[in-house]
Amino acid sequence: MHFHGSNLESLHKHLPPEILPKYLGGHLSDSNEDYNSKILSKDSYFEDINKYGYLPKF
């Protein structure tokens, strides 16, 4: 878990501006539809970053 506060440059090191709404320094409108479709189109990116950190215990 990362906390960025108002440091959007720090946020953009972890999440590209192409998938973020304008109020987070991104390229998307503030519409949830735009945001949701971009996030869903980046499934492989999120699958890759989920490989780091702690493994779930099942």
pLDDT tens-digit series, residues 30-50:
777 777 787 888 888 888 888
Is residue 4 in some structural domain?
A: no
Predicted local confidence at residue 33, as pLDDT: 78
Is 14 a domain residue?
Answer: yes
Please give the pLDDT value at position 14. 92
How far apart are alpha carbons 45 and 31 in whole angstroms? 22
In a domain, 3, yes or no: no
Which token pair is 54? 């702690």
Q: Does residue 15 lie within any of the structural domains?
A: yes
Q: Is the dihedral of CA 39, 42, 46, 49 positive or negative?
A: negative
pLDDT digits (tens, 9 = 90+) for 5-33: 888 999 999 999 998 888 889 988 877 77
Task: Please give the structure tokens belonging to residue 28.
Answer: 């998307």
Angle 45-38-41 (CA atoms, 0-180°, nearest 5)?
A: 50
Q: Which domain covers residue 47, as residue numbers?
A: 9-51
- Specify the pLDDT at position 50: 82
Count of the separate structural domains present in the chain:
1
Residue 19 counted as domain residue: yes
Contacts of 17 (CB under 8 A, 6+ apart): 25, 26, 27
pLDDT at 26: 92
Is 33 contained in some domain?
yes
